[in-house]
Amino acid sequence: MASSPHAQSLARHDDDSLLAGERLSFRLPAVDASAAEARRRVRQQLAHWRVNQETSDNAQLVVSELVTNALRHTASTSVGCELRVSGALLRVSVASDGAGPSRIPLRATETDEGGRGLFLVCALAEGWGVRPRETGEGHVVWADLPIGRSQR
């Protein structure tokens, strides 16, 4: 398993298939470079888990969008990211510790440079949502992606 102190895993079957419960979690500071670092960590872990390229690409896009939203729209000092395998799904979660926006953002217009991230997440995910953090401060945004295995 990965040598990262943040990575946790359950044992694998003899055929090296993924088991429910594979997990990686990490925290990043609330700085612009954190979206790129989250993508890098997700790419590295999913390659280790031998997840196919499409799933990896989709997970990197989703984590990037969710981290970026947490950085732009909350007063967080850090963000927590988690990947978790559950059956045929990969859950990508991003937790913020700050207060979110006081209003719901409007739909992006044709000329807006941003505002489409959650539409992308919705298009790629089998489901997604928002829940309060267990600590009572901040929230967690999650998305479930279909998982595919690499044919290596």
pLDDT on residue 131: 87
Region 92-99: what's the mean pLDDT?
89
pLDDT on residue 111: 56
Give, in words, the CATH class of 22-101+114-146.
Answer: alpha beta
Mean of pLDDT over the chain: 79
**pLDDT, tens only, 28-75:** 999 999 999 999 999 999 999 989 999 999 999 999 999 999 998 888
Region 88-113: what's the mean pLDDT?
71
Q: What is the Cα–Cα distance from 145 to 152, expressed in whole angstroms?
A: 21
* % of the chain surpassing 70 pLDDT: 72
In the predicted model, is pLDDT for residue 26 greater than 50?
yes
Amino acid at 34: S
pLDDT on residue 113: 53
Residues whose CB falls within 8 Å of the CB of residue 151, separated by 6 or more in sequence, listed in order = 52
- What ranges do the domains of the chain cover? 22-101+114-146
Per the structure block, which two tokens stand in for 49? 């888990």
Q: Are 13 and 19 in contact (CB under 8 A)?
A: yes
